Amino acid sequence: MKLKHCSYREETSLLAANALHGEEKSAIERHLAECAECQIHFNQSQKLVAPLAAWEKNFSSVEVTDAMRANWANDVSRAQSATPAARQQSISPVEILRSVWREMIWPSRYAWSGLVVLWAAMLMVDAQLSDHPKTKMPPSSQEVLQAWRDQNEVLSEWKLAGGDAPAGPAYAPNPQSRRDPVADVVRV
């Protein structure tokens, strides 16, 4: 049930918490006798405040002992006296790995698992593609020099035998015509 907002709403909450006294308390009690919405809000607030008030009563007898105070003081003094370098030396690599596991890997384990599967698939595809024959590597400079020397030997032997210069290419392209093909069609 949604209650309409009354100007006394906050005061009814304070009354439920037993925080009002004197004239203020009487004025709010008179208003509660007349306003049904504030009565509902007051009852709801009392249901909430009652367990909190009981909690305070139950733990009012609990007091800190001298032994607890001494332990607390020892812990605080130890923490204050430890230098940052001493704190860093006390952390082992195993503790660091456990911390990383707990804070980074375990909360997002499904994402990490997906990445592992993706990486494995990529490695398998790469392994399959690398089985194809490699392209031939270009010849080294030594091989090029040896081929040039062999070619010069063949040419020098050919010149000593009295041969003419080698002929040009067997096919010589015809020059292109500069005439307009469209004009030729129109003349016909």
**What average pLDDT does this structure show over 6-17?**
81
Quick one: pLDDT at residue 55?
Answer: 73
In a domain? residue 51 = yes
**Total count of domains within the chain:** 2
DSSP state of 130: T
Query: 123, 141, 172: which is the final residue of a domain?
Result: 123
Straight-line distance from the first to the last Cα atom of the chain, in angstroms, rounded to the nearest whole number: 99
- pLDDT digit string, tens, across residues 107-164: 888 888 888 999 999 998 888 877 666 666 777 888 888 998 999 888 888 888 776 6
Domain containing 114 equals 92-123
Which has the closest alpha carbon to 26: 40, 11, 7, 41? 11
Has residue 82 got a pLDDT over 80?
Answer: no
User: Residue 12's Cα: distance from chain center in Å?
Assistant: 49
Between 4 and 69, name the one with better pLDDT.
69
Quick one: pLDDT at residue 117?
Answer: 92
In a domain? residue 33 = yes
Has residue 187 got a pLDDT over 70?
Answer: no
State the greatest distance between any 2 C-alpha atoms of the chain, in Å, as a whole number.
138
Q: Which helix (H) or strand (E) holds 27?
A: helix 22-34
- pLDDT digit string, tens, across residues 84-94: 665 556 677 88
DSSP state of 170: S
In a domain? residue 173 = no
In a domain? residue 174 = no
In a domain? residue 106 = yes
In a domain? residue 63 = no
User: Structure pTM?
Assistant: 0.31
